[in-house]
Amino acid sequence: MFPIPIQKRPLINRISYKILVPVSLFIWLIPLLGIMLTSIRGLGDITAGNYWGMPSEFLLFSNIKEVFQNTPMLTYIINSFKITIPTVIGAVAISCMTGFALASYKFKANLFIFFTFIAGNFVPFQILMIPVRDLTFQMGLYDTVTGLVLFHVAFQTGFCTLFMRNFIKALPNELFEAARIDGTSEFNIFLKIVVPLTRPAIAALSVLIFTFIWNDFFWATVLIQGQHAMPITAGLKSLNGQWVTVYHLLSAGSIMAAVPPVIMFFLMQKHFIAGLTLGASKG
């Protein structure tokens, strides 16, 4: 265990540690606490510059109501789901297949393809921007949820393949061999053996991709222009320009944007962290 467990330390250390932890947590979360506090304030507090004192009114729900009534926030949230969920399903499904192919078959181009996926995953978005936008135009999918989803699926396939391939590779190969000897077809090996065994990886990938896509701002800006298909990140950005002086509404909107991934994270924490830290503990 490193560092030495605090329980083995002198009392004074133990007490100061127990004080230090909540204090540092509070400092760490100040930005988020600030925005939460602001989201329950009324306009009065904002104009009076009361940002850190007790809110003079508790208006969270009326602020949220105002956001929903005066802005297309509801559409934005629905769009975010419409973009995120199909992307998660698509990317995970495709990468199960690519991951399986790269993990359990030997062929010449294997490593090359694998590294291509990895390399593509690190590419700066800007180098893809203009061609992807043009391509989406030509397919008639510009400014549609479908167009954005297609790109997201394609791009996320890079990361997901890396993830899945490493996961499947770590599965005992004997399982597949035994099934082959029993005459199970390759497709059935995939469906009946690989998919059930990769469930934890699928769960981890799903939460990760959900968060990545939900929080995507760049591609939403590049491939979407109208409110009808705009996800919440890009929507918030446009409200940011409109609401420069009404921080309480902007805060309420920001919180709405943050809630789904946060819920996702707390529900699926184990998988989320397992996904993010893949490779952090082994060479």
Partner 1 sequence: MVSYTTPFLTVPNSTQFTYRKSSWWKRNQQRLTPWIFLFPGLLLFLVYVIWPIFNSLYISLLQWDGLSPAIFVGISNYVELLDDEYFYISLMNNLKWLILFMLAVPIGLGLAIFLNQTIFGIRLIKSLFFFPFVISQVVIGIIFSWFYNPRGVIGPFLDKIGLGNYAILADENFATYGIIFAGIYPQIAYCMILYLTGLNNLNTDQIEAGRMDGAKGLSLFKNIILPQLKPATFLAIVVTVIGSLRSFDMVAIMTQGGPYGSSNVLAYYMFETALSEYGYRMGYGSAIAAVLFTIMMFYILFFIYRMYQGEKKGL
Partner 2 sequence: MRKILATLIAITSLGYSSAFAGTLVINTDLTDPAPKAAFDWAFKKFQEENPDVTIEVNNFDHEGYKQAIRNFLTTSPPDIFNWYAGNRMLPFVRAGLVEDVSDIWSDTGWVDGNLTEGMSHAKKPMTIGGKQWGIPYTYYQWGVYYRKDIFDANGISVPTTWDEFVAACATLKAAGVTPITIGSKYLWTTAGVFDYLNLRTNGYEFHMALTKGEVPYTDPKVHAVFDKWDELVKPGYFLENHASLAWQEAIPPMVNGEAAMYVMGNFSVALFKEGGLTNDNLGFFQFPEITPGVPMAEEAPTDTMHIASGAKNKIDAKRFLIFLSRADVQEEMNKTLGQLPVNSGSKVDPDPFLEAGLNMLNNAYAMAQFYDRDAPAEMASEGMKGFQEYMVNPDRRDKILERLEKVRQRVYK
* Site residues (CB under 8 A) for partner 2, limited to 105-164: 137, 140, 142-143
CB-based burial label for 43 (10 Å; 0-12, 13-18, 19+): middle
At 258, list the tokens.
């943050």
Determine which residue in the list 10, 49, 172, 226 makes contact with partner 1, applying CB under 8 A.
Answer: 49
Q: How far is the CB of 71 from partner 2 (least distance, A)?
A: 9
Residue nearer to partner 2 on the CB measure, 143 or 186: 143
At 228, list the tokens.
């009808």
Residue nearer to partner 2 on the CB measure, 188 or 242: 242
Determine which residue in the list 24, 185, 188, 245 makes contact with partner 2, applying CB under 8 A.
Answer: 245
Question: Within positions 16 to 75, which residues make up the interface with partner 2, using CB under 8 A?
Answer: 47
Q: How far is the CB of 199 from partner 1 (least distance, A)?
A: 18
Determine which residue in the list 21, 23, 48, 178 makes contact with partner 1, applying CB under 8 A.
Answer: 21
Question: Within positions 183 to 222, which residues make up the interface with partner 1, using CB under 8 A?
Answer: 183, 185-187, 190, 211, 214-215, 217-218, 221-222
Residue nearer to partner 1 on the CB measure, 59 or 101: 101
Give the closest residue to 148 by CA, choosing from 242, 80, 99, 94: 80
Contact of residue 191 among partner 1, partner 2, none (CB under 5-8 Å per partner type): none
Instruction: Match 């989320």 to its residue by tokens.
Output: 272
Angle at 269 between CA 282 and CA 271, to 5 degrees: 50
Determine which residue in the list 169, 192, 228, 270 makes contact with partner 2, applying CB under 8 A.
Answer: 228
Determine which residue in the list 238, 258, 274, 278 makes contact with partner 2, applying CB under 8 A.
Answer: 238
46: left (phi over 0), alpha (psi -120 to 50) or beta: alpha
- CB 159 within 8 Å of CB 121: yes
HSE on the CB side for 242, CA within 13 Å?
Answer: 13
Element (H or E) spanning 70, and its range? helix 60-70
31-39, 70-78, 81-89, 197-205 -> range binding partner 1 (CB under 8 A): 31-39
Size of the site for partner 1 (CB under 8 A): 102
Contact of residue 132 among partner 2, partner 1, none (CB under 5-8 Å per partner type): partner 1
Q: Report how far apart, in Å, the C-alpha atoms of 207 and of each of 88, 104, 258, 268, 271 are.
A: 8, 25, 14, 7, 7
Instruction: Match 């989406």 to its residue by tokens.
Output: 136
Question: Within positions 141 to 160, which residues make up the interface with partner 1, using CB under 8 A?
Answer: 150-151, 153-155, 157-158
Determine which residue in the list 16, 56, 70, 269 makes contact with partner 1, applying CB under 8 A.
Answer: 269
Q: What are phi and psi of 36, to 5 degrees?
A: -70, -45
Q: What is the 3-state secondary structure (H, E, C) of 61-98?
A: HHHHHHHHHHCCHHHHHHHHHHHHHHHHHHHHHHHHHH
Q: How far is the CB of 85 from partner 2 (least distance, A)?
A: 24
56-64, 71-79, 81-89, 116-124 -> range binding partner 1 (CB under 8 A): 116-124
Size of the site for partner 2 (CB under 8 A): 14
Give the closest residue to 86 by CA, choosing from 172, 3, 152: 152
